[in-house]
Amino acid sequence: MATIRAIAQIGEPVLRQVAREVEPDELNTPGIQGFIDDLIATMRHANGAGLAANQVFEPLQICALEVDQNPRYPYKPKIPLTILVNPKLEAIGDETFVNYEGCLSVPNLRGEVRRHARLRVRALDRHGQPLDFEAQGVSAGTYQHEVDHLFGKLFVDRVEEPTSLCTWESFRRHREAEFRARVEALVARFGS
């Protein structure tokens, strides 16, 4: 049975660590498979769109992503449950967009972050099988956010305009409608 783990909050040193790569033969161990189950359960329990291993105090290059009618991000396109091990992201082209991001490790704060609009994602899945796919639009931003964690970066490090920082309540009241319109335009363009 999976365990809901504590989520590291901004200021915890583990969030600034570069996580270590996971050896393929480690993936089939009960410890790593159990940890991945815990990571998924913790992400779902917290209504996260993703969760990186170091956010639950394990500095391993593993992250989980999933978006399916998420109450924290009702405007995000669906991402099926995806486990990335040792992920590598490569921008496709120079196009970027401004994403309004939040984070389970930075509670009650949101801010605008510039992200690549198209990415190539390469990683191993939880069973050591290679993954190689493209992510676009808002979904590409979600992948970039989670992989940043594995390299000791938080979204607040990438906020270009500090005046965009706001609480979740302020975002909902003053900025969500405008951001939803931007997201709808991205989804119309990229489909995700």
12 belongs to the catalytic site: no
For residue 88, list its beta bridge partners: 122
Asked if 100 and 145 count as a contact pair (C-beta separation under 8 A), the reply is no
Tell how far CA 8 is from the center of its chain: 15
Tokens of 54: 């170091």
List helix spans (H) across the chain.
30-45, 137-150, 155-158, 168-170, 176-190
What is the bridge-based pairing of β-strands 50-52 and 118-124?
Answer: unpaired
43: which residues sit within 8 A by CB, 6+ positions away?
A: 50, 51, 64, 66
Q: How far is CA 36 from CA 114, 144, 160, 164, in A?
A: 29, 19, 33, 34
List 146, 160, 176, 178, catalytic entry: 146
Annotated active-site positions, please? 146
